[in-house]
Amino acid sequence: MLDPASATPPAEPASLGIQTRSIHAGEALDPSTGAVGVPLYQNATYGFRSYAQVEAWRDGAPHFLYAREGNPTVRCLELKVADLEGAEAAVGTATGMAALSATLLHLLPAGAHLVASTHLYATTRSFLCDTLASHGVAVDVADFADPVAVAAAVTPRTRALLCEAFSNPTLRVADIAAAGEVARAAGATLVVDNTFLSPALLRPLAHGADVVVHSATKYLSGHGYTLGGVVAGRRDLVAGVTRTLSALGATMPSFAAWLLLAGAKTLPLRVERHSTNAARLARLLAAHPAVAAVYYPGLPDDPGHAVARHLVGADAPGIAPETRFGGMLAFRLAGGNAAVGPVLDALRLPTIAVSLGDCASLIWPVDGTGLVRLSVGLEDIADLEADFAQALDRAPIPAGEG
């Protein structure tokens, strides 16, 4: 546990396995009580024992001050995620969008230019088009699966590039290594949203990214009980984002960090099951006549399969190569939007809900054209397969198909 007088518990050696680090990184026995596990520090402010201690803090000695500026429980989570991502530092945020927005607001002053992926989460797109534009930031989009297109979108004013490792919702695979080369040549910062994969499958910093953002609500939590976000990267970049977060009042609450610390301990174990279940379901969906298309980089005919194999292979040594592609997939029904209702209503196990990364499967109709996003849960795969088979059998199929 973090000693408020030191502010820096030792990180776990990188030579340890990711499951070991998920449990131990950023944590030690509580220095006051010996409690095993990080206590919940639900404090607004932190006292100083003397004026001399205040002066020492002003000279750089570590000490907590006010919860908006930092909290011992949150600090332990930050250290854990920094360790898992291979980053110098990390900062917790109130939500995933707080992580993304604070990062971009820090990196992009008025007059700057951003190259963003054509495949991004809808709320992210809204932030780029509305909030950033109103702050005088120009945004152009490019397909991050095509490095030539990304390089062509760069201008002399480009200060950052933004992509999702696997995009939400159609799992378009970004060529992070190539984007990193483009960013370095332009003197820009590559920001990668790693929400769909988590550090259990991918560490973008090892592939050329400068900053990683997460909606910690998803796989880092794993249970759907709290909101949160994390930004990880170089110490100077994270320090700048931290200042922006404090000014916005968008820092992570201590209770959210406490829940996320508990969830993170089982991250690699959960992701392994999510991934193997998703691989099985993707094959079932691809073979069913009611399904027109499956978006899942683990399928050999997926356009991002080759790049995805390179990205996720090194960071998931405990997961079989053919199932190292995460727990997310999307599919489009042959019957179009008319088929979505019958299929979703026939399913017994997945809950019709937004969000992702929970223990239970979550399913959501995306765009009114028959596209469905599925967050594959930890249920027994035989039960999931049987449930989807019976639901898909009820889907209307256009004449001449199936």
Sign of the CA dihedral with 294 first, then 297, 301, and 302 last: positive
338: helix, coil or strand? helix
Active-site residue, 302 included: no
- Report the C-alpha gap between 262 and 222 in whole angstroms: 9
Give 166's DSSP letter.
B
The closest alpha carbon to 382, from 297, 289, 310, 284, belongs to 284
Pair 267, 219: CB distance under 8 Å: yes
Listed residue (164, 101, 162) closest to 135, CA to CA = 101
Which of 46, 68, 234, 243 is the catalytic position?
68
Q: Check: CB of residue 114 under 8 Å from CB of residue 160.
A: yes
Amino acid at site 119: H
Residue 295 is a catalytic residue? no
The CA–CA distances, whole Å, from 250 to 41, 97, 135, 181, 218 equal 18, 10, 19, 31, 18
- Across the strands, what pairs with 66? 45
Catalytic residue among 41, 121, 219, 296: 121
- Verify whether residue 218 is a known catalytic residue: yes
Rounded Cα–Cα distance for residues 195 and 327 (Å): 11
Contact 381, 277 (CB under 8 A): yes
Which residue is associated with the tokens 């020492």?
Answer: 56
Can you say how many angstroms the Cα of residue 167 is from the centroid of all Cα atoms in its chain? 11
Q: Which of 83, 193, 210, 387 is catalytic?
A: 193
Measured in whole angstroms, how far is the alpha carbon of residue 190 from the centre of its chain?
A: 15
Enumerate residues 6+ apart whose C-beta is below 8 A from 169.
295, 330, 366, 371, 373
Catalytic pick among 218, 270, 273, 332: 218
Specify whether 80 is catalytic: no
Which positions are catalytic? Answer: 68, 121, 193, 218
